[in-house]
Each structure stands twice: as C-alpha cells, then as structure tokens.
Amino acid sequence: MIKFEHSIFALPFAMIGMMWGARATLHTAWPGGRIFFWILVAMVSCRSAAMAYNRIADRDIDAQNPRTKMRAIPAGILKLRQVNLFFFGSIALFFLAAWMLNPLAFALSPLALGTTLVYSITKRFTPLCHFVLGLSLGIAPAAAWIGTTGSLVPAIGAITLAVLFWTGGFDIIYALQDEEFDREHGLRSLPQTLGKRRALMVSRISHVLAVGFLALGGVMTHAGPFWWVGVVFAASLLTYEQSLVKPDDLSRVNMAFFTLNGFMSLGMFVFALLDQLVR
C-alpha cells in the first residue's frame, strides 16, 4: 500500500531544506546524525500517514475506478482495521519525531500533518486539489529547515513554492486519466473542470513557475554554480515531461508522472549536495 516512490518526490527536497538550514546555522551542510535520523523518520511517517488516510477516505471511490480497484482495501488485500492501525501508528511516530527535533517542529507538527491529510478530501469540492497536494509536499523543505534550525526564514519559502507548483503540475497530468470518471462521480479536478487541453496549459504554466521559484531560492540562499546547473536540469526535464503528454494521447502518462519526476527530485538533491560539497 505504501511504496517507496510515494516518498521519493518530497524527500530529496526535505534533504535540501535540511542541508541549507544546517549551512545557515552550523556553517556545514551536515546537521549531525540525530537530526538527520529524526527528519527522515518524520518525513516517512507523515507521508505514510497521508497515503494511508487517502486509501481509507477513497476506498469506495477506488472500488469503482478501473484504474484503482486493485488497491489494497478494495481488493481485499488489507482490512480497513489494519490500515487504520497503520495510519494511527504513523501519526504517533510522526509526532514523536517532531518532538525529538525541537519545540517549533513539535508545535507546528499538527499543522504539517493536517496539510498532508486534507488533500484526500479536497477533490470532493475543489478543482484546485492538485495544488493542495503540492502544498503538502511543498512544506517538506521548510519543515526540514525548521527541524534543523528551530526557526523559519523567507528564503526556504521559495523552494516550498517551487515544489508546490511542480507537484501541482504533474498531478494535473496524472489526473488526465480520470477526467471522465471524475465527471461521472462528482469529483473535482482541473481536467474535469477545464477539459484536458486547458488543464495541460495550467500544468505547463505551473512548471514554468516551479523553475522560476527554484531560481529565486538559489538567489535568496546565495547558491553556487551546481545549484544553477540543477535548475537548468529541472527545466529541461520538465520540458521533456510536458512533451510526452497530449490531450489526445495519454499513453506515456506513467513515464511522465513517476519516472521523470523521480529523476527531477533526485537530480535536484544531487546538484544541491554537490553545491554544498564544493563550498
């Protein structure tokens, strides 16, 4: 039910927030093993809780959708009671990790958790649900900065917005597959509201904004040359991703959604790490 790729989108950006926070306060990109461990635990447990809640909240919808009817609950692989236990266990682990980091991280942990959970119900009343998902992933670098420093500064906000628009853009692409199903079952999405062609245009604008905010984050944090190579890499990859999907051809949506975005997040982490190592 919980797959590695569910964390691969946000986790590298959380590591970037951690490195930048450590650099700003400790003058080194490595915050120490303890902070790294608890940030990792917080990220994985929060994302696992969000995915479990999504499966719980959508179990009846998933059972009706040919694309999702083989998910764990509707397929009978897991019982609802088992998923609920996993959900509450993940929440407990997340709060423990936040408490182990610092007082501000623990104080804001309910807000962070609520942001990641609310996405699952927004598709019932707003076509902007893609950007709520984007926010739930976008807070990862800011949360990791807080976990590292115990404070929050505007500079990390640019990366939060970059991840928000990047995620919103690729989630719109993924939602193209369910346009007809969403319309028939009263669910909201931009493809359902605007149609495939206009929704794709919003996705492309979102990805342009994502690259712009990655660049702004580099300026605000005085990033070095490797970060800028990463921004060019991200722009190139997102351009290619958009070229794979057309309103009348969704055959390569999975490659555009999973493969390229996985490379995008990991690639930005690698370039950010290189940027820190050469300082």
**59-68 pLDDT, tens per residue?**
999 999 988 8
106, 132, 99, 108: which is closest to 118 by C-alpha?
A: 132
pTM higher than 0.85: yes
DSSP type of residue 68: T
**Average per-residue pLDDT for the chain:** 94
Residue 4 pLDDT grade (very low, low, confident, very high; cuts 50, 70, 90): low
263, 262, 260, 267: which is closest to 227 by C-alpha?
A: 267
CA distance 161 to 176: 23
pLDDT tens digit sequence for 219-267: 999 999 999 999 999 999 999 999 999 998 988 888 878 889 999 999 9
pLDDT(7) > 80: no
Give me 37's structure tokens.
Answer: 């461990």
Backbone angles phi, psi at 51, to 5 degrees: -70, -40
pLDDT tens digit sequence for 107-149: 999 999 999 999 989 999 999 999 999 999 999 999 999 999 9
Answer yes or no: are the C-beta atoms of 163 and 264 closer than 8 Å.
no
Q: Kindly state the percentage of the chain with pLDDT values over 70.
A: 99
Give me 182's structure tokens.
Answer: 């969403």
Domains of the chain, earliest start first: 5-277 (1.10.357.140)
Matching residue, tokens 């628009």 = 165
Distances in whole angstroms, Cα of residue 97 to Cα of each of 21, 88, 92: 18, 14, 9
3-state secondary structure of 246: strand
What pLDDT score was predicted for residue 179?
93
What pLDDT score was predicted for residue 254?
83
pLDDT tens digit sequence for 147-164: 999 999 998 999 999 999
pLDDT(5) > 90: no
pLDDT(6) > 70: no
| Element counts in the chain: helices (H) and strands (E) | 14, 0
40, 47, 33: which is closest to 15 by C-alpha?
A: 40
What pLDDT score was predicted for residue 258?
80
Distances in whole angstroms, Cα of residue 125 to Cα of each of 90, 130, 190: 27, 12, 12
